[in-house]
Amino acid sequence: MKKKPNLAVVGATGLVGSTFLRVLEERDFPFESLRLMASARSAGSVAVFRGAGYTVEELTESSFDRPVDIALFSAGADASRRFAPIAASKGAVVVDNSSAWRMDGDVPLVVPEVNPQEVARNRGIIANPNCSTIQAVVALKPIYDRYGIKRIVYSTYQAVSGSGMKGIRDLEEGLKGNDIRGAYPHPIAGNCLPHIDAFTENGYTKEEMKMVNETRKILGDERLAITATTVRVPVFSSHSESVNVETAAPFDLDELRGLLATAPGITLVDDPANCLYPLAREAAGRDEVFVGRVRRDFSVENGLNLWVVADNIRKGAATNAVQIAEKLLETM
């Protein structure tokens, strides 16, 4: 690294933005200067980082007139579409957590354990994938590289924190017996809602199509056959996923477990005889992707089942973005 970057966090007062700050502090991310930005509603508030107070600025079209080298964005897709190109035009590299740029062919979609080489081809914007996709592809990467993959069936069980503070409040109030609907069309307490994001013309939700399209882009394989059903469940933190895979080549199960156990970013928790398997509560606050229930699917040739769990706000959003920023440091 030639220099310490001028760093900006956009959307700094939100759930993911505040986690950006926590992860940056935990990982001792180096910087020359730090600026926090948010909407006019949050401007003027003060956030504490490394013991110092930082006043939150209003995000405007002139915010990047002062030099910024790396900008971590989590302010929503509309703000990203408007402000990320401005930041990039002024010399910043934006790591964007929204859906705005993920499927743009000129924008890398990066999970550092999977396709870190894509960071180098950025033109000023790098997209952070969807939370449910990130943890899935971390688990799939060593399998894809060793055996190839023909088909993936995703079934997800996603925490309410994926809907931000509104989702958390819906569950908190629902557990008290107050069936509010701030984030969802139905009460979430005591329910499983097979409805994340809007439905599309093909009957899938946008969340399901994100998993299909983003997995193909990250793994660099448009031929992959993928289907998904994504479900919101009454859990505060960490997404859980059943991932059913048909590999292209036969696999030895012990060898496959060994690949998972040694792959970057993965912690293998796979001892069902002793009731040890990945759990949402134990993944919360952690940065690893936890994989377990590794077993053959005997209904199809070369079939495999995995249970994949990760903290959706950390590895599924903030930590992945900071890891991308760390890769950017290597180019400075």
Q: Average model confidence (pLDDT) for the chain?
A: 97
Q: What is the pLDDT of residue 2?
A: 60
Q: How far apart are CA 162 and CA 118, in angstroms?
A: 26
Q: What is the pLDDT of residue 1?
A: 45
Write out pLDDT tens, residues 107-135: 999 999 999 999 999 999 999 999 999 99
Q: How far apart are CA 211 and CA 133, in angstroms?
A: 5
Q: Please, which pLDDT band fits residue 238 given cuts at 50, 70 and 90? A: very high
> What CATH number should be reported for the domain whose range is 6-129+317-329?
3.40.50.720
- 3-state SS assignment for residue 291: strand
Contact 48, 72 (CB under 8 A): no
Q: Please, which pLDDT band fits residue 190 given cuts at 50, 70 and 90? A: very high
CATH architecture of 132-312: 2-Layer Sandwich (3.30)
The domain limits of the chain are: 6-129+317-329, 132-312
Write out pLDDT tens, residues 164-177: 999 999 999 999 99
- Arithmetic mean of pLDDT, 299-323: 98
- Which value, to the nearest 10 degrees, does the dihedral of the CA atoms of residues 93, 117, 265, 125 take? 20
- Arithmetic mean of pLDDT, 208-231: 98
Contact 152, 143 (CB under 8 A): no
Token pair 């010399």 in the structure block, residue:
91
Q: What is the pLDDT of residue 3?
A: 80
DSSP state of 97: -
Q: Could you give the residue numbers annotated as active site? A: 131, 239
Q: Which of 246, 214, 219 is nearest to 230 (CA)?
A: 214
Q: How far apart are CA 271 and CA 277, in angstroms?
A: 6
| Alpha-helical regions (H) of the chain | 15-26, 77-89, 131-147, 164-175, 206-219, 253-262, 280-283, 319-329
Chain-centre distance of CA 182, in angstroms? Answer: 23
CA distances to 204, 232, 326 from 29, rounded to whole Å, are 39, 33, 8
Q: How far apart are CA 67 and CA 51, in angstroms?
A: 24
CB proximity list for 64: less than 8 A, separation 6 or greater: 8, 71, 83, 86, 87, 90, 92
Write out pLDDT tens, residues 57-109: 999 999 999 999 999 999 999 999 999 999 999 999 999 999 999 999 999 99
More confident residue, 327 or 331: 327
